[in-house]
Amino acid sequence: MNRQNKFNLQNQQQQFQQNWRYNESDEEGMYYEEQQNDIEFERQSPLAYNNYNTFNNQQQNLTNQFENQNQYDEESLIIENPLDQTPIQVMIRVRPQFNIDSQSALKIVDNNTIYINNNENVHSFKYSRVFKPSDSQETIFKYVCEPILQHAIQGYNASFLVYGQTGTGKTHTMGLHQNNLLEEPGMIQHSLKFLFDHFNNSQLNPEDWSISLNFMQIYIEEIFDLLNPNGQKLQIREDSESNEVYVQDLITVPIKNIDQAIKLIEAGLNQRMLGPQNMNQYSSRSHTILNVYVNQRISYSEYIVSNIAFVDLAGSERIKKSNSTGIRMEEAKKINSSLSALSNVISLLGNSNQQYIPYRDSKLTRILQNCLNSQSKISIIGTVEPSEDNSFETYSTLLFASRCQDIQFLPQQNLQNIFTMNSDPQEEIQNLKDQIKYYQSKIKKMSSSISSDGTKFAKQIIETLKKPFTKLGRNLKQAQKMNEQLHSQMKNKKNTSYEPIGLYQAKIPFEEMMQMISDGKEQEFLNLFEQTFEDIFQKYGQISLELEKLKEVNLANQNQKTDDHQQLTSSRPNTKLATELIEYYSGFSQTLLKQLLESEQIVDTNDRDLLEKIGEFNQQTQLKLKDIVKKHNIKELIQYVDTLNETNYEKIAKSESYRVKQLVLQLKKKIEDTAQKNNDKSNTNIKDFLEKQRLINEKKFMIKQSGTPLNNSQIIGDNSSSMSLRSNSSSNNLTQQQQQQQQQQNQVNNIPKGPSNLKQMMNDLNQKNKQQTSNSVNENQENFSSQQEGCYNSNNINNSQSKKQSSTPIHIQRVKILSEDQIEKNPQNNFVTNKLTEQNTNITKTEKQNISEKKIVQQANQNLNKEMQFDRSSSSGSNKIDYNTNSLSPIPQEQQLNSQLKSCNFYKKNQKYSPFTDN
């Protein structure tokens, strides 16, 4: 194909892309509206099409060659150009062709370029990467996920999206094939493993990092929690202060290891909506989103949280192609319009003039808003299959991907501060004490890790140094041979009248030196070597002088022809001998010197990163080491490393922790000062404090009664209060009479003492108004009693936190993570707990579903019977949940759902929390 044709081809493709757009109003969903002119233009270029066949043959050979040449060992794969340089990576993955009767419409030209013959023209597309059918799941992970996860660990949000026609390998790429989660690990499994490996091997204390996940699907624009089998449709909310988007009541579960994650995902997949699509037997007709949250505490008051979203999008095929009618048609329309919204959002992200990004156009884009913005790393894989039967769909996937990749922005780190200053001295003291505890544990950990790292480092240096020593040993052997020859030569010439200061007698203790090397006594070797070396140099200097003298004498002889000419001439052989000796020793010493320099160079280059590592601990050490290395003073280096090995690391650890200790001292001082101040003003302060508490409690109680949702400042009260509360309107319908009584009760108590006091009041009220208040009061009571038992619902989490820690953590992120303790201490029969502790993973899907649903039903019934004490006669006997009902269909009794939710041991996204203060 000549250059002009290629050029035409590219031009056509560009024009086609520019004119391509999706017509949302069309009944068939997504299709491509080509402008008449462009169709004409493409048709008028038959040359390009004709040339394709010739080109095809030529390229076939090249491609085969390319495929053969590009066999590589994945283990030793070096990624020269990792895909983490730009915020959005758009890639194509071509799955193997299953239909052998069909021609291939695709040609992978190189790692970035793919051609498609869409039955009309041949189009060329370029992407960050084109993955071949032979590329493994590991390769995908290594190229796509690993670099982005490295960023996510540093606090960036990230999203991985797979887009494509049904059956092209989206689910396979993600690793979400039901019952095959372990056999066919994809991006999700590899990524989770990577994250756990990273943190388990990191310097962070286990309590300073956590990984949690939630799992949901969007089906016909409705959101379902895949980790909660009650089939409730969830709503998207936005935090008025932080503008953060979250799914209300979506369950986020902390996971300890990859096994737990797999169990949860497997359980979630069993809940997923699958449709018997023509294109694929288990076609996913919904978008599936797995959010992984990584929390890391980086100082006492700061942490970073990254949200990594794995999105398996629903199939993008045309409705006509999938022969959909009725509900399937409805599904397909919604899928297509949400995919269109996704494409719009992504393509607008890079437009710096674009103020408004239409996230609200679909639930998908709205949910992904946190990870699909200019602050995040985005990775999109378009999956395609080669056969020409699907060339239209493949072409549309390639266009979609192409449209997504033209954006540029820089992601930002999610650094958040969880604490604000407390105005109350008591709380301030508690806060400072907690800080001290935190830093003390850091010091302890730091000391031990630094000294062990120091030892490791010293060992590594010694190992590195051993290499040139071994070479030195070999050289010494050669030198020894030469020396022996020299000695015998010298012996033969002993009868000469002139002996240049008995140089040949210089003894080099080769045997001894080599022994030292093989015994690993580098230090002793160096001492001995230096001595010998000095000796040789000394002698070398003397010989040089002798030689000069002899030369002078010879010259004089030649010139003067004096009487003693004879005598001097007899010394000529000695001149020769001396020259030989000088050459030999200078050569020998130069060889040794070279070796020595080489060994230092090795230290300088190979261990630069080790030096850097040390530098992290202590800059002084680093400078000193670099200085020594620069001076090529191997002896000093070894000595220094030796001292580092033994005592210096302790010192470094101490000096590093000194800074922290100073901080602790300052904090202690601050505590004393604050305590002093507090003493001085104790009367007024305590009164103020209690009064504040009373007002806050009263306010909260009023809010509970009115059922009005609270904004953040209302929830937090003022910062002096550790109480935070979100009202639940369904559980707060006290009568006016009760409100009055409550207020009276408050006035009597005057100084409420927090939750237990409130609980008491509620009990009193409950007793007095038993007749009138039945369900609602009981529900309030249940809130308080469940709080005592350690159950966590939207109201009691914050109360229980406040009991444990009196400082006021204020957190803007809405992902709520439960500590392991909280899960273990409260083995409620809920879905997630069951899944996490499930022993037998081999039981079938239906058995699993039945078991988990049965348990939930039993628990819900128990809750209803024992805790809520429902008045069965008034609730017309419909409180029992029939576990035979479809788990995705809504359960009629809202109270039953509430009861189930309340018995769950995990946090939900609609709550305020601090991930590190719950124990």
Ligand X SMILES: Nc1ncnc2c1ncn2[C@@H]1O[C@H](COP(=O)(O)OP(=O)(O)OP(=O)(O)O)[C@@H](O)[C@H]1O
We find the least distance from the C-beta atom of residue 829 to ligand X, in angstroms, to be 32
Output 127 or 439, the one with its CB closest to ligand X: 127
| 164 binds ligand X, rule: CB under 6 A | yes
Cα angle 905, 810, 195 (rounded to 5 degrees) comes to 60
Nearest residue relative to ligand X (C-beta):
169
Site size toward ligand X (CB under 6 A) is: 15
Handedness of CA 193, 194, 196, 201 (dihedral sign): positive
DSSP string computed for 172-217: HHHT--TT-TTTS--HHHHHHHHHHHHHHTSSS-GGGEEEEEEEEE
Nearest alpha-carbon partner for 758 in 838, 844, 700, 831: 700
Q: Mind giving me the DSSP string for 312-344?
A: EPPP---TTTTT--HHHHHHHHHHHHHHHHHHH
Query: Can you tell me which of 11, 70, 96, 872 binds ligand X, judged by CB under 6 A?
Result: 96
- 713 to 696, 726, 810: CA distances (angstroms): 12, 11, 10
Interaction residues for ligand X, span 860-879 (CB under 6 A): none
Residues listed for the chain: 919
Q: Closer CB to ligand X, residue 283 or residue 834?
A: 283
Task: Please identify, using beta-carbon distances, which residue of 188 and 195 lies nearer to ligand X.
Answer: 188
Binding track over 301-340 against ligand X, x by CB under 6 A: --------------x-------------------------
Instruction: Quote the least distance from Cβ 169 to ligand X, whole Å.
Output: 3
Q: Whole-number minimum distance, CB 804 to ligand X, in Å?
A: 45
Q: Does 172 bind ligand X (CB under 6 A)?
A: yes
Cα separation, 639 vs 647, in Å, equals: 12
Among 12, 157, 171, 745, binds ligand X (CB under 6 A): 171
- For the CB of residue 166, give the shortest distance to ligand X in the complex, in Å: 4
The Cα 207–Cα 919 span in angstroms is 10
168 is in an annotated binding site: yes
166 is in an annotated binding site: yes
Nearer to ligand X, 283 or 859 (CB): 283
Choose one: 6-14, 63-71, 159-167, 572-580; the region binding ligand X (CB under 6 A). 159-167
How far apart (Å, rounded) are the C-alpha atoms in residues 762 and 775?
13
160-168, 395-403, 835-843, 898-906 -> range binding ligand X (CB under 6 A): 160-168
Does the protein bind ligand X through residue 168 (CB under 6 A)? yes
What is the 3-class SS of 392-460, one letter each residue?
HHHHHHHHHHHHHCCCCCCCCCCEEECECCCCCHHHHHHHHHHHHHHHHHHHHHHHHHHHHHHHHHHHH
Q: Which of 107, 170, 403, 814 forms a contact with ligand X (CB under 6 A)?
A: 170
Of 87, 147, 155, 167, which one interacts with ligand X (CB under 6 A)?
Answer: 167
Rounded Cα distance between 204 and 442, Å, is 9
Which residue type occupies 153? I
Strand partners, 284: 274
How far is Cα 450 from Cα 447, in angstroms, rounded to an integer?
5
- The residue whose two tokens read 């120091």 is 454
**Nearer CB in complex with ligand X: 12/284:** 284
3-state secondary structure of 33: coil
**Paired sense of beta strands 233-234 and 122-126, if any:** unpaired
- CB of residue 275 to ligand X, shortest distance in Å: 9
| Contact range with ligand X by CB under 6 A, out of 165-173, 212-220, 245-253, 555-563 | 165-173
Measured from the CB of residue 165, what is the shortest distance to ligand X in angstroms?
A: 7
Scan residues 879-918 and list those touching ligand X (CB under 6 A): none
CB 382 within 8 Å of CB 93: yes
Q: Which is nearer to ligand X, 276 or 709 (CB)?
A: 276
Contact (CB, 8 A) for 525 and 596: no
> Cα dihedral sign for 842, 843, 845, 849?
negative
Task: Please tell me whether 502 is known to bind a ligand.
Answer: no
212, 252, 383, 798: residue in contact with ligand X (rule CB under 6 A):
383
**Interface pick for ligand X out of 89, 118, 166, 336 (rule CB under 6 A):** 166
- Of 12 and 168, CB closest to ligand X: 168
Q: Name the residue nearer to ligand X (CB basis): 74 or 627.
A: 74
Collect all residues with Cβ–Cβ distance below 8 Å to 255 and sequence separation of at least 6: 211, 212, 213, 261, 264, 836
286 interacts with ligand X by CB under 6 A: no
165 carries a ligand binding annotation = yes
604 neighbors 629 (Cβ within 8 angstroms): yes
Which residue carries 């026609």 as its tokens? 165
Strand partners, 617: none
Q: Which is nearer to ligand X, 337 or 900 (CB)?
A: 337
**Which one of 164-172, 198-206, 294-302, 883-891 is the stretch in contact with ligand X (CB under 6 A)?**
164-172
Residues 673-712 that bind ligand X (CB under 6 A): none
Closest CB 54 distance from ligand X, rounded Å: 30
- Residue 185 or residue 411: which is nearer to ligand X going by CB? 185
Beta bridge partners of 274: 284
Give the separation between CA 528 and CA 588, rounded to whole angstroms.
16
Pick 315 or 809: Cβ nearer ligand X:
315
- Nearer to ligand X by Cβ, of 282 and 498: the residue is 282
Among 90, 95, 404, 414, binds ligand X (CB under 6 A): 95
Whole-number Å distance between alpha carbons of 848 and 827: 18
DSSP class of residue 31 equals -
Q: Is 444 annotated as a binding residue?
A: no
Site for ligand X in 178-207 (CB under 6 A): none
Instruction: Dig out the tokens for 470 from the structure.
Output: 């071994």
Sole window of 167-175, 209-217, 472-480, 745-753 interacting with ligand X (rule: CB under 6 A): 167-175
Q: Could you give the C-alpha distances from 699 to 663, 695, 760, in angstroms and in order?
A: 38, 6, 17
| In the complex, minimum distance from the CB of residue 278 to ligand X, in angstroms, rounded to a whole number | 10
Which range touches ligand X (CB under 6 A), out of 68-76, 122-130, 168-176, 708-716? 168-176
Q: Is 391 in the site for ligand X (CB under 6 A)?
A: no
Provide the minimum distance between the beta carbon of 383 and ligand X in the complex, in angstroms, as a whole number.
6
Binding mask 246-285 for ligand X (x = CB under 6 A): ----------------------------------x--xx-
How far apart, in whole angstroms, are the C-alpha atoms of residue 131 and residue 95?
9
268 is in an annotated binding site: no
What residues contact residue 748 under an 8 Å CB cut-off, 6+ apart? none
Asked if 29 touches ligand X (CB under 6 A), the answer is no
Are 357 and 139 a contacting pair, CB within 8 Å?
Answer: no
Token reading at 679? 């003493």
Is 382 known as a binding-site position?
A: no
Is position 571 an interface residue for ligand X (rule: CB under 6 A)?
no
The distance of closest approach from Cβ of residue 147 to ligand X in the complex, given in angstroms and rounded to an integer, is 21
Question: Closest CB to ligand X among 31 and 282?
Answer: 282
Nearest by Cα to 175 from 210, 148, 140, 227: 140
Nearer to ligand X, 312 or 546 (CB): 312
Please say which residue, 168 or 431, places its beta carbon nearer to ligand X.
Answer: 168
Q: Which residues of the chain form contacts with ligand X (CB under 6 A)?
A: 95-96, 164, 166-172, 280, 283-284, 315, 383
Binding site listing for ATP: 164-171
Binding site listing: 164-171
